[in-house]
Amino acid sequence: MSKRKKIRTRGKLQLSKYFQKLEKGDFVAVVREPSIKSSFPERLQGRTGLVEGKKGKVYVVKIKDLAKEKTFLIEPIHLKKIKQIEKYDDKE
């Protein structure tokens, strides 16, 4: 895990990521923004989860942490929307 930003992006915030809109049921990846203090554990970096809703300005994200499913409150700047690939069924 990289603790530094690239030299050209240091100190900058992408406002479009900060104000992004996510819907209930969207799949997201946790990508920590190093220039903002995060309130979630470092072990969640790179994990994927499901958006359950919104509380104020943060999103409620359900993430499988080891063997348990847990819910975390994460700011939108630390989330990246991903496309969920449907599982292939071999019953055709």
Q: Rounded to two decimals, what is the model's pTM?
A: 0.79
pLDDT on residue 1? 52
> Where do the structural domains in the chain lie, given as residue ranges?
14-82
Interval 70-82 mean pLDDT: 92
Residue 3 has pLDDT above 90, yes or no: no
CATH architecture of 14-82: Roll (2.30)
Q: What is the structure's pLDDT at 62?
A: 95
Question: What DSSP string runs through 41-76?
Answer: -GGGTT-EEEEEEEETTEEEEEEEETTEEEEEEE-G
- Please state, in angstroms and rounded to a whole number, the distance separating the CA atoms of residues 24 and 1: 28
Task: Map residue 63 onto helix, strand or coil.
Answer: strand
Residue 90: pLDDT band (50, 70, 90) is low
Query: pLDDT value at position 86?
Result: 66
pLDDT at 54: 94
